Amino acid sequence: MTDRIILASGSPFRKTLLANAGIGFDAVPADVDERALEAPLEGSGATPEDVALILAEAKALNISEKNPGALVIGCDQTLSLGDRVFHKPGDKEEARRHLLTLSGKTHQLNSAVVLARDGETLWRDVSIARLTMRKLDPAFIGRHLARVGDKALASVGAYQIEGEGIQLFEKIDGDYFTIVGLPLLPLLAALREYGALDG
């Protein structure tokens, strides 16, 4: 069994998923400039899945280089609608525009997870969920955002599926863990493979 597992994220949702799965870990948020890493990828032909993997890997490597011997989990998630990649909204108005754009359409959540040790990538995976938002009335979007408050600014889609955001959808194709941002089943398999979990 490995000595130490580190989650290179401060996300309360990811921490809860790992804790609920019975994994002992420390959470150490990575110090990476995501927008600076993404800038050279624009127009390069990198897919939204590639972007998620590159960011997850950068986070895992960032923390693994500072924590010798530890097995570090890096994760990232992109939301894509066609070729457009969405980022967390900066304010309520941007959240409103996100939801108006996604209304009545199927978007994709691309959740990447990477394992690294001593500055070396050991394993990487990206899982995809497709979510179809029902056609939303603009007035409803305003009322919804007023109810959920700043929680809408905590995720790329301006919604939390594990909360009131579930009301926005008519169809979901993909697992809950991928949607929340940590593909848990492939990660657990990889942790067993690297001796970090009994099994």
Cite the DSSP H helix spans in the chain. 12-20, 34-38, 48-64, 92-102, 138-148, 176-180, 184-193
3-state helix, strand, coil in the chain (%, to 5): 40, 25, 35
Torsional sign, CA 11, 162, 21, 49: negative
* Known catalytic residue at 125: no
Using DSSP, state whether 64 is helix, strand or coil.
helix
Candidate list 76, 83, 125, 198, residue with the active-site label: 76
Helix (H) or strand (E) holding 173: strand 169-173
183's CB contacts (< 8 A; 6+ apart) are 111, 113, 125, 126, 127, 175, 177
How many other C-beta atoms can be found within 10 angstroms of the C-beta atom of residue 137? 11
Residues marked as catalytic: 76
